[in-house]
Chains A and B, each alone.
Chain A
């Protein structure tokens, strides 16, 4: 749905914000770009709708190469790409309904159709009773809901989210993320979001791209990455002391957490299992964990084979 090819952005002051970025966002998925501030993720997102012109490279959204379009065509294409912002970017002089109607005005939708569509949108984000309020009367979470309603007004196929929950408290963040997930499922909306919060990636993303210094370090489906030895994502989600001490085994498991793996290991292979550290997380509702253990005894080698055979990722240091 979104294809970025060899994207480079060098600012006038010589700062290289993007250093050859390739990224694909599949239709209907939520992809999170994770990185610290200054990693270039904001520039990356702004290049997708060409708020920022890449120095070189191509941007293709929904089959159209935006970077090749003229001004008028680009405007039309932008109407099919929704965007939500960290500080909401609402018009303070307009009501909630007026804000949601704004993209429709730009798209030239007649007034009577606008009103009906706005009601529908506010219903969708749960703000039907706030139509006449102005943004200053709303909480942060409500403001972002208005932002989302506005972003969806013109019926976009793609939603770009620029740190949309960074200014919100944890509980509100969860409710906004739940809303985004629901829109993704119900409307088939493709979402590209940037965030510095692992929590956002863990709760709603199907795929992730980890960015630093203007490059993408690794990208892919989260489930695939977790099954990949040495993935940076795994280390980020489950921080354990690195490098692993010699003789230790690090086991990453997804979905099999309810099985008594370790105790059956002890019984079957007559080994001692000493747990050194570990953590368990929920990724999109499924338990995923990472455990660092020391396995001692003559059955140790067989035990490792058994674990691998169960489909766990076993890394021996």
Chain B
């Protein structure tokens, strides 16, 4: 395949990858952040102690984390159909991507929040702060650099997952590499997609590091 033929395909695949990753990242943040907060606050000695609830939540998160993404993707096909009405395409791929990334991100959120000084939380309690205010004004702002770092790692993981989603018709760069690079033995396409993926990951990681550093006032 020559370059003129490849370029539009490459552009489309890159667009699909970015679209899948962007949508999945947004949804992962929306669901993963509260989940991570709950994992911390429901602790014995946390803001809203609920050890039984926390145990169940932790188990669910661990199940999500222990499934290889490719298995999870296939296993949730009925759910994907329920939500999006289809199992093929970029939008359908967002469902397993989000399901795979939420527990992952939630654990990273949990770790970041646990890094917040206990004395600072107590100081807020001693001032008579509501629990929601402690989450919103203490836990989240104080752990923001860690949260950004966690989200960055999650995006990189999502880029990796998104290549697998290509295998069930999600499209994207992974799909391109498999169909052209592997099945048609087109080494050129293979190299280009690999390089593109590396560039995207490097860019995301560098940007994330930069933002996290800027936010860190310690």
Which residues in A have some Cβ–Cβ distance to B below 8 Å?
Answer: 49, 51, 74-79, 81, 83, 85-87, 89-94, 102-103, 105-107, 134-136, 154, 160
Residue of B nearest to A147 (CB): B123
Within 8 A of A (CB), among B112-140: 117, 119-120, 122-130, 133, 137-138
On whether the beta carbons of A79 and B127 are closer than 8 Å, the reply is yes
Nearest 4 interchain pairs by C-beta: A78-B128, A89-B123, A75-B128, A79-B128
Query: In the complex, A179 Cα to B194 Cα: how many Å?
Result: 64
Which residues in B have some Cβ–Cβ distance to A below 8 Å?
Answer: 117, 119-120, 122-130, 133, 137-138, 141-142, 144, 215, 217-218
Chain B residues within 8 Å of A86, by CB: 119
Q: Decide: A92 near B137, CB < 8 A? Known: A51-B126, A77-B128.
A: no
Chain B residues within 8 Å of A74, by CB: 128
Partner of A106, one of B129, B144, B217, B218: B129
Residue of B nearest to A135 (CB): B217
On whether the beta carbons of A92 and B119 are closer than 8 Å, the reply is no
On whether the beta carbons of A92 and B123 are closer than 8 Å, the reply is no
On whether the beta carbons of A136 and B129 are closer than 8 Å, the reply is no
Query: In the complex, A189 Cα to B192 Cα: how many Å?
Result: 71
Chain B residues within 8 Å of A78, by CB: 125-128
Partner of A89, one of B122, B141, B217: B122
On whether the beta carbons of A93 and B141 are closer than 8 Å, the reply is yes
On whether the beta carbons of A83 and B217 are closer than 8 Å, the reply is no
Query: In the complex, A86 Cα to B120 Cα: how many Å?
Result: 11
Partner of A102, one of B125, B127, B144, B218: B127
Residue of B nearest to A105 (CB): B137
Chain A residues within 8 Å of B215, by CB: 93
Chain B residues within 8 Å of A160, by CB: 126
On whether the beta carbons of B217 and A85 are closer than 8 Å, the reply is no
On whether the beta carbons of B218 and A92 are closer than 8 Å, the reply is yes
Chain B residues within 8 Å of A51, by CB: 122, 125-126
Nearest-Cβ distance from residue A118 to partner chain B, whole angstroms: 15
Residue of B nearest to A103 (CB): B127
Query: In the complex, A75 Cα to B128 Cα: how many Å?
Result: 4
Q: Decide: A89 near B119, CB < 8 A? Known: A102-B137, A106-B133.
A: yes
On whether the beta carbons of B142 and A83 are closer than 8 Å, the reply is no
Query: In the complex, A85 Cα to B123 Cα: how many Å?
Result: 8
Chain B residues within 8 Å of A49, by CB: 126
Nearest-Cβ distance from residue A293 to partner chain B, whole angstroms: 49
4 extra A-B contacts, CB within 8 A, seeds A89-B120, A91-B138, A92-B217: A78-B128, A83-B126, A92-B218, A94-B141
Residue of A nearest to B129 (CB): A106
On whether the beta carbons of A136 and B217 are closer than 8 Å, the reply is yes
Query: Which of A102, A107, A136, A154 is the most central at the interface, judged by chain B CB atoms within 10 Å of its CB?
Result: A102
